[in-house]
Amino acid sequence: MLLSTRNLCACLTGMAGTCWVPIHSPAHAAEGGLSNFPYGAQTTYAAFVPAPGTTSFFGYALYIKGDSVRDGDGDRVPGVSVDVFAVAPRLLHTWKSTFFGWKMTSGGLAEGLYARVAVPGGDDDDIGPTLIGIEPLYLSKTFGAWTVFHGPLLYLPLGSYRPDRPANSNVNYKALTYQGALSWNPNARLDVSLNAAVEFKDENEKTDYQSGPQASLTFGVGYKAFADQHWDVGFSGYYTDGLADDEVRDVKVPGGGRTEKFAIGPKLVYWLSPAAAVVAQWHRELVSENSFQGDLFWLECTFPF
């Protein structure tokens, strides 16, 4: 989540890996569908950051109900389902100095989660720390009604990982994401935001599995429909697709292993003040290949200090 003195960005950039849990099934590579960058989160004032010289706290909670798992053709894999609950605290600080007129913002985050995977003949669960995220430098600038934001995000895994288990609380690889966001705000009531990101994943050293880079586009529209402008109603969603096939020891996995998803749903924001807000959103996945398919329920907040 990114925030200016008047805006909230529902950016779950810190909740990497919470959306995707290792699922072992005959139709899936062991790590199909895994990702760090949480596409679908950055949906509200996506290009905004804290005001210069200020720091903001961001809290994130996400529940995933994956009622089915889909193969590379989008067909259901029988008997497999996923439940995940994740939380992540995050801090962002915008420096007083600028870079040729661009605001400079740095931050970091941590994440933990509980994951439960049901497979034919039994189920498995895991709870623990997931990762830390290092956000060294974001640049952002406003041009009239348009605000632009971009920068890198480095993910480092935490906790234990067992390749023989269906459920793990982390993905066991480092990743580098570069993201850019654009917000259009022609007046104080309307927000139209887009976030585009590409995640480059390191090899899982315990499985020799090399996931291909993953691209995503997250979108959100919100409107303050009431006179007091405390409530912001709208919709949001995402599309993601793999850019290259997954490999194990330099050999392409059967079917390529690329994850593709599309989801959309309602979004509601309540503004406690111009700089503090709570975001709730629900995404229903309508398309899913090489991953689970289900519902994602987000609850996010931000408070400056």
Which one, of 276, 275, 278, lies nearest residue 267 by Cα?
Answer: 278
Among 3.40.50.620, 2.40.128.130, 2.30.40.10, 1.20.120.420, name the CATH number for the domain at 55-304. Answer: 2.40.128.130
Return the pLDDT at 31.
61
CB atoms within 10 A of CB 203: 16
Measured CA to CA, the distance from residue 43 to residue 218 in angstroms comes to 7
Residue with tokens 């519902």: 295
CA pair distance 89, 140, nearest whole angstrom: 22
Structure confidence at residue 63 as a pLDDT band (50, 70, 90): very high
Bigger pLDDT: 89 vs 7: 89
**Percentage of the chain lying above the pLDDT 90 cut:** 66
pLDDT-above-70 percentage for the chain: 89
Which pLDDT belongs to residue 277? 92
Give me 66's structure tokens. Answer: 């994956």
Question: Which residues, in sequence order, are CB contacts of 14 under 8 Å at separation 6+?
Answer: 38, 58, 60, 88, 89, 90, 109, 110, 111, 133
Domain positions in the chain: 55-304
State the virtual CA torsion across 197, 210, 15, 185 in degrees, nearest 10. Answer: 10
Outline where 182-222 has alpha helix (H): none
Largest distance between two CA atoms of the chain: 60
The single-letter code of the amino acid at 161 is: Y
pLDDT of residue 147: 98
Lowest mean pLDDT among 48-57, 69-78, 105-114, 166-175: 69-78
pLDDT of residue 1: 44
- 216-227 pLDDT, tens digit per residue, is 999 999 999 998
pLDDT at 91: 95
Which of the residue ranges 44-48, 195-199, 271-275 would you say has the lowest mean pLDDT? 271-275
The pLDDT tens digits for 116-175 are 998 888 889 999 999 999 999 999 999 999 999 999 999 999 988 888 888 888 889 999
Q: Positive or negative, the Cα torsion across 228, 231, 234, 238? A: positive
First to last CA, the chain: 15
